[in-house]
Amino acid sequence: MTYKELKLIEARIKAELANMSSLLSELEKHGFMVTDGNGSKIQFDEDNSFMLRAIGSVLHDFYVAVENILEIIGREIDEYLPEGLDWHIQLLRQMALEVEGIRTAVISGNTLFLLDKYRSFRHVFRNVYGFSLDAAKLRTLLDDLANTSRQFSKEIETFLSDMRSLME
């Protein structure tokens, strides 16, 4: 891989990180997640199915952005993407591995655990009617979203820094 190719990969990843940030801003803008010095406070009407659908859509999009980043790394750096029915979880697990001589681990085991909750929800969101969404589950995911996003973004930035160092 050339330095130029790495810079292109980095630009694509940073665009997805910006999308993730926009999703959190959207939740704050509409009052679903209020961030103060003590963390995030989640506010929504659990009986409003339209509101639950909207929140579910943002949580779905969050994981899509995460998976887009992991797919870029898998395709462009690992030169391998898992296949089969369980490819989504296999991709997460692949990213938690260090590949000697190729790359450091992209995410930690803890981040894998956190992201797997959103992967699982994304599957549910795609396969149930919106009025069937579990408000308590959405609340839990929203409670963890800012922290999960921050941790994932930090680990991606560290990974990109490690890749730049490997190129030098």
Render pLDDT for 5-26 as a digit per residue (tens, 0 to 9).
Answer: 999 999 999 999 999 999 999 9
* Rounded mean pLDDT, 46-71: 93
Q: What is the pLDDT of residue 41?
A: 67
Lowest-confidence region among 50-54, 59-63, 150-154: 50-54
Higher per-residue confidence, 32 vs 154: 154
Q: What is the pLDDT of residue 20?
A: 97
Domains and their CATH numbers in the chain: 3-167 (1.20.120)
Please name which of 127, 142, 163, 151 lies closest in space to residue 40, comparing C-alpha atoms.
Answer: 142
How far separated are the first and last CA of the chain, in Å rounded?
12
Residues 47 and 53: beta-carbon distance below 8 Å: no
* Rounded mean pLDDT, 113-131: 91
If 0-12 CB within 10 Å is exposed, 13-18 middle and 19+ buried, where does residue 66 land? buried
The DSSP secondary structure of 101-163, one letter per residue, reads TTB--SS-HHHHHHHHHHHHHHHHHHHS-GGG--HHHHHHHHHHHHHHHHHHHHHHHHHHHHH
Lowest-confidence region among 28-32, 113-117, 148-152: 28-32
Residue with tokens 């909207």: 54
The set of residues, in sequence order, having a beta carbon less than 8 Å from that of 18 and lying 6+ positions away, is: none
With 0.75 as the threshold, say if the pTM is over it: yes
Residues 51 and 20: beta-carbon distance below 8 Å: no
- Counting residues of the chain whose pLDDT is more than 70, the rounded percentage is 95
Look at residue 60 and tell me whether its pLDDT is greater than 70: yes
